[in-house]
Chains A and B, each alone.
Chain A
Amino acid sequence: MIDVTHAPPASCSAGTATAEVASGTIVRHERIAEGTWRLRVLAPNLAATTRPGQFAMVRLPGRFDPLLARPLAVYETALQADGGPPGPGEAAAARYADFIYAVHGKFTQALSRVAVGESVEFWGPLGNGFAPHPAGHLLLVAGGIGQTALLALGKERLGIARYGGPGVAAARADRVTLLWGCRTGSLFGDVEDFRDAGIDVHLATLDGSVGRKGTVVDLLDAFADGSAGPEASGERSVRIACCGPEGMMAAVSTWAARHGVPCEVSLETPMACGVGICFSCVAPVRDASGGWD
């Protein structure tokens, strides 16, 4: 008989389990565009620590259908139920987290029926978030619901909001522009959040109902040839931060490579766990031999 003896754990967690599956009351829940909802949840730990581009796994309490939680980007944080995020110099910690979601399938349909006063369960922040590269001009390039990963980044880089706790050294950008493409104009929600932050907003729709007719790549072309504005072209230290459907991100990366602009994408391979235990969320990365890793 082999008896597995239990030495007091040394280097392991030893009772220091700190990550939690939290439950948070919904204080705000409203439709902001066609099939698109915005949710504000009381989430002190998540709101105080999340960094731009990070996400949380969200689920409905007490039910296993849908079976798994779903990843949603933390769009914005807030100090109060009806306020905004802390400013760069402010010591107070955000207590609320905002999510914006497009109604898509089982989970998002069910979520859209949950009322203010009820709660959701979540854990996070998860993911790497955007790397702290300073830039002269940061281009946020969003496709579909991809803007959700980008607002906090833009605000942080412009120095008008702070994410991730006091003392987090945030990279700065002199200027931030949002290039956002959707299928049709009715899908744009809360664009004012970007404009109010001092971000230049350029929209495109496939059907031409709002903004330029075309895709974000057309917006990028306009940006490069100067037609997007007098000072838009010829800048040094332009960077792209991009989030959206895979095909769109591929097109933007290709564009960026062609123009020699550094580009960071936020990948959205379907996830099962969000915490790194299931090996679902890999993405093929081209290696030197032309294969993938």
Chain B
Amino acid sequence: MSSTVSTPGQIRHSGHPDVPEIDLAVDLGRLRLPNPVMVASGTFGYGKEMAGFVPVERIGGVVPKTITPLPRKGNRPWRTVETSAGLLNSIGLDNDGVEAFVEKQLPWLAACGAPVVVSIAGANQDEFIALASRLDGVPGIAALELNISCPNVSHGVDFGTDPEACRSVVAGVRNATSLPILAKLTPNVTDIVSVARGAADGGADGVTLVNTCLGIVVDWRRRRPLLGNGLGGLSGPAIKPIALRCVHQVRQKLDIPIVGVGGIMTIDDIMEFLVTGASAVQIGTANFADPTAAARLLDALPVAVAEAGAASVRDVVGTLRLDGPQATCGEENKRGDETP
């Protein structure tokens, strides 16, 4: 597998004359990834569990389950329930804490060679900063992803809904570490652009859009919510248009690199995110539906990029055209008469 890895990024040599050579590398601020296909936090375990299914070393970036300063048990079961084209979860940041992660999980992942983007969550700004300082200089970490958007823990959402709190926590972390920083935002806000601007002002290298959408599933016969925690976060194809909309809005207003996540199941989904303005994507729920999804999608990428008429992934990013008659979406539509 390592033969497909070269500088500057991965060049896909298929050996087939009809499969083109495509430069897959992408940049997220100070972070360069060999390819744009990452796996999303909480949907890939700590990598090891998936090693049988996916050549983990090929993945553009592995984001392990979010870690917190101390171990957390997570929420009561049930923790997941399938919905129409979606999955509602209330795992509740079940993890063994930062020390156990550094000692037991990170070494294996780091040895793999795939960039490791460590997802961290604190209950307050000081905890975020403490986590970032603890991880600064630890070998094998490519970047941090700040989970300021988990719907399953109290306070988690605050940083992700208040632009100033977002700016402040990102700036605090930026002071505490030399690692590149992605801020992972929640779609459960009125104005995603202002929160993303907070992250950019705080010094984030990129924003990850989006975490899950808050939801609930009830059993009317028993008159109870199905999840042990009541509320949960919705993921999967059901949220793709929302995630794509967030990417679109942020891309139209800000320069910050974007990692798109939400409902990606197929290569077409990936291309939609890239064209709309995401420089990289994360595969989440699809890993559950098909544990080989990340590898399958990565394999399909070069052909799709070539079909887009590009020689590199970077050339595809943000190429959505808003000048034609299809430009009937929201504020970008200057000709209101064409709005359906």
Contacts and interface: CB of A to CB of B under 8 A. Distances in A.
Interface in B21-46: 27, 30-34, 42-45
A13 B115 contact: no
A1 B30 contact: yes
Closest 9 A/B residue pairs (Cβ): A19-B52, A277-B45, A13-B51, A12-B112, A273-B288, A280-B80, A4-B115, A9-B57, A6-B5
Secondary structure at the B interface, as helix, strand, loop or mixed, is: loop
9 contacts: A2-B30, A6-B34, A13-B57, A19-B52, A69-B288, A123-B53, A280-B78, A280-B91, A283-B77
A67 B86 contact: yes
Given A19-B52, A21-B292, A279-B74, A12 B87 contact: no
Contacts of B43: 277-278
Interface in A154-197: none
A67 B237 contact: yes
Given A4-B33, A21-B292, 5 more contacts: A9-B112, A12-B57, A21-B53, A282-B79, A283-B77
Given A13-B51, A17-B52, A275-B50, A69 B142 contact: no
B77 A284 contact: yes
A276 B49 contact: yes
A68 interface: yes
A36 B212 CA distance: 36
Interface string A40-61: 0000000000000000000100
Interface residues of A, number: 46
Contacts of A270: 77-78, 80-81
Interface in A50-105: 59, 64-69
A3 interface: yes
B291 A275 contact: yes
A109 interface: no
A59 B142 CA distance: 35
A14 to B, nearest CB: 6
A288 to B, nearest CB: 15
Given A12-B113, A17-B51, A67-B85, A277 B44 contact: yes
A247 interface: no
A118 B335 CA distance: 51
Nearest to B94: A279
B295 interface: yes
A6 B50 CA distance: 19
B85 A64 contact: yes
Contact of A3 (B32, B76, B80): B32
A289 interface: no
B295 A17 contact: yes
A64 B30 contact: no
B56 A13 contact: yes
B2 interface: yes
Interface string A250-293: 00000000000000000001111101111111111000000011
Contacts of A277: 43-45, 49-50, 287-288, 291
A70 to B, nearest CB: 9
B34 A284 contact: no
A167 to B, nearest CB: 21
B50 A269 contact: no
Contacts of A4: 31-34, 115, 142
Given A19-B291, A64-B237, A280-B79, A12 B51 contact: yes
B32 A1 contact: yes
B73 interface: yes
A12 B289 contact: no
B285 interface: yes
B20 interface: no
Nearest to B115: A4
Contact of A272 (B7, B87, B142, B237): B87
A271 B115 CA distance: 29
B30 A8 contact: no
A59 B290 CA distance: 9
A292 to B, nearest CB: 8
B236 interface: yes
A285 B39 CA distance: 31
B288 A10 contact: no
B259 to A, nearest CB: 15
